[in-house]
Chain A
Amino acid sequence: MSEQAAERLEAELRRQTDAARAAQSRYLSELAATAAANRPDPGLETFRSQPEQEPAMAVLTDTALPAEQRVEVLRRLGASLSRRAEYIEALLAIVRDRGDDAAVRSVALQTLGGAAFQVVRFRPHQQAYDDVLHDLVDDPVPELRETAVGVLAQQHDPVVQATLLGALRGDGPLPVERERAILLLAEDDHLDNLPWLQELYRNDSASVRAEAVRFMGSYPDAEPTLEGILRNKDEAPSVRQQSGAALRFLTPERFEAVAKEISTDPSDDPDVRTACLSALQHLGDTDRLYADADFVNRVREVRGDESAPQLAQVARDLLAQRPEP
């Protein structure tokens, strides 16, 4: 970069920074004015400081103000405010309050989720945050419910796991869609998920079936199912490829045997054949692969297949790694 260009860039960055500072300053002034003009809300009075000292807190906790104004506080200042304990507590109270505006609660929950990434700083609040998430599991606002269930399930939370399992068995309402409930439980491979994943695999959507197959890769008992799916020419190629990946994760040797057959079967889908051959080339036991003369001969037949150019290319690459003597 020339010196002149660097100077131009520096000036532009300085201009943008100054503009952002000015906008922030204007916003804080407006916030102070709003806070001063409004009456305190008794519901969230606990968290209110003197309005002139904490306009952000005053506006955030004033349920009489338009939701957009309160949301704006979090959008503009959320990251810095959530470093302070009193704001975390205020946000927890807002999220918990089912009488408050759904949009404000939702953004407050997102802000808390961001704050929770600061693991050490958030540690004193983690348990209270989890409690609020537990409270949201049966919240009437679907977005809040789904976020809470998702966060808790990722943590392998036993309360939400029990709720989801019970609801899947018909005991109580499901807080999220049935498919999502199964996928969330599947995050914990110490649960009895295989029957639910097999149910999910019967779904009409190929992407849902692919997800089911992906999670089956944690269960050795799923090996025959995965092999069956990989071999099933009536199944969508994307699902078969995912099944191949899952089978390879569980039993690389079984995958190798099946992939050798599929990749050299002219009647099979070219995409699945290419994926299988590519996996064998890049991820398999190369020595064992080349020692299988019958397989190598079949790959030689594939390399000139003009009907499947990608497959032919992978075959040529594979054979080029070990040139014939």
Chain B
Amino acid sequence: MTAPNAPMSETDLGALIDRLRHAPGGADELAALLPESLPIYRNRSAAEMGRLRGYLLAAFADTGVPQAALPFVLESLATGHVAVEVAGAAVGLRGLAAPTADILAALLRAVDNLAGADATISFEQCQPVWPYRRPTTALTEVVRTVGHFGSRAAAIRPQLELLARQRERFPGPVLKEIQDVLDRLAGCVPEPPAPGHSCCAGPALREQPPGDTTMHAVLEDQDARATSFGEFFRGRPSIVAFFYTRCDNPYKCSLTISKLAALQNRLAERGMAGAVRLAAITYDPDFDLPNRLRRYGADRGVRFGEDARFFRVTTGFQEIRQRFDLGVNYGPSTVNRHRSEVYLLNDEGGIAAAFTRQQWDVAAVLAAVENLAQTSSTGMDGPSGRIVTVWKSNSVSSV
């Protein structure tokens, strides 16, 4: 199934989702609508994107959740900050027979994220009108989904018991939902969660496209110094994150850049500071001028230097967008939605590993860097173990 390309109103898109949720093969067709970079999402506001995403994800409760949809569902649960989106992800998961351990972890994460950020929402239609006929809240739906899994969710009973005692955090009706679930779990024979990861556990790998022109893209760094993509990203491996300074989701860009700073520290502790370059590139190059890049990074602990720079693309952003297949789209004024994305590039600027969609883990990226080091002709110098050799470019298959 290929997603529709022509512009559609929010009402039409809602009608399409309603049709697919009852159509044979609808699950896969709904999954094809998930990538945020699809042209149908261009020029919508961030609020509209949140509403559509919640409505779309909730439809998987009727169709079942195809494997291709799981990374998106977990992304919304773990990093969503809009109640309707998180609620949609929680409702959609009821299309699964059994949760994996990471699905249960994502549900708990959603409860944490929603404390103080919950809101009354409704899935009675794609654009419900206040007052809602069938109101609910994101927290309610998350807790109900835990209850839906019954004995398969028994592994997180201790955490639920802890939540049930936090009367200062949750409204009465949510506490009652939690207690209802606990009561139901009390009579259950615990079953382990389904084995394995719910989705792409390892970093995705991508071939460098033929005729790639990204190397000529012109970048401007946090000090307004110009360079080209090829000039900075060739010669040594690099870690590059994408972000924008106006991102209002605390679980995405701000966290990504804070973790990039943590990664910088970890690399330094291991004597690898000079061996790997760090970079972050903004999705919003017209607004994110050098001073904004610098302030955003410095505020989150990044130490700038020759090998640690933030960039805006002044020429060739479309090439970079295509090259990385960036999970981003734009409203009339700025980014309307994006995924978390961090890439490990080899010494020729090719993608060696991608950490996308779900929040990345500093240790996992560090392991990928070390893995890349081992598969290249790397030598260690002296007791500090500093990597001193030139890194060889890796073919994707050898990582």
Contacts and interface: CB of A to CB of B under 8 A. Distances in A.
Nearest to B127: A162
Interface string A241-284: 00000000011100000000000000000000000000000000
A189 B130 contact: no
A119 B115 CA distance: 11
Contacts of A159: 130
Contacts of A121: 168
Interface in B138-196: 167-172
Interface in A137-174: 137, 156-159, 161-163
Given A130-B120, A134-B130, A158-B47, A194 B332 contact: yes
B191 to A, nearest CB: 33
Given A135-B131, A192-B45, A127 B286 contact: no
Contact of A190 (B118, B286, B336): B336
Contact of B116 (A119, A137, A157, A251): A119
Nearest to B336: A190
A188 B48 CA distance: 13
B79 interface: no
Interface in B46-64: 46-47, 50-51
A107 B330 CA distance: 42
Contacts of B137: 127
Given A124-B169, A124-B171, A189-B334, A252 B289 contact: yes
Given A189-B333, A190-B46, A127 B51 contact: no
A180 interface: no
A191 B333 contact: yes
Contacts of A194: 332-333
Interface string B231-253: 00000000000000010100000
Contact of B115 (A123, A125, A161, A190): A123
A194 B248 CA distance: 19
Sorting the interface of chain B by its residue count into under 10, 10 to 19, 20 to 34 or 35 or more gives 35 or more
A220 B137 CA distance: 36
A137 B116 CA distance: 22
B168 A123 contact: yes
Contacts of A156: 47, 248
A163 B50 CA distance: 16
A193 interface: yes
Q: Is the interface of A mostly helix, strand, loop or mixed?
A: helix
B166 to A, nearest CB: 10
Q: Is the interface of B mostly helix, strand, loop or mixed?
A: loop
B71 interface: no
A124 B176 CA distance: 13
B130 to A, nearest CB: 5
Nearest to B284: A220
A95 to B, nearest CB: 15
Interface string B268-303: 000000000000000000110101000000000000
A156 B46 CA distance: 11
B84 interface: yes
A191 B335 CA distance: 10
Contacts of B13: none
B66 interface: no
A5 interface: no
Contacts of A64: none
A128 B137 CA distance: 11
A51 B364 CA distance: 62
B130 A158 contact: no
Contacts of A111: none
B120 A189 contact: no
B171 A219 contact: no
A125 B168 CA distance: 10
Contact of A120 (B118, B168, B171, B291): B168
Interface string B323-342: 00000000111111000000
Interface centre among A190, A194, A250 (most CB of B within 10 A): A190
28 contacts: A120-B116, A120-B168, A121-B168, A123-B169, A124-B167, A124-B170, A126-B116, A126-B118, A127-B120, A127-B171, A130-B119, A134-B131, A156-B47, A162-B47, A163-B130, A188-B47, A189-B246, A189-B334, A190-B331, A190-B333, A190-B335, A191-B47, A191-B331, A191-B332, A192-B45, A218-B287, A220-B287, A252-B289
Interface of A: 119-121, 123-128, 130-131, 134-135, 137, 156-159, 161-163, 188-194, 218-221, 250-252
Lowest 10 CB-CB distances: which A-B pairs, in order? A192-B332, A220-B286, A190-B46, A158-B47, A123-B116, A124-B171, A191-B45, A127-B118, A134-B130, A159-B130
Given A127-B137, A162-B47, 19 more contacts: A123-B168, A124-B167, A124-B170, A126-B118, A130-B119, A137-B130, A157-B119, A158-B47, A189-B334, A190-B248, A190-B333, A190-B334, A190-B336, A192-B43, A192-B45, A194-B333, A219-B333, A252-B289, A252-B291
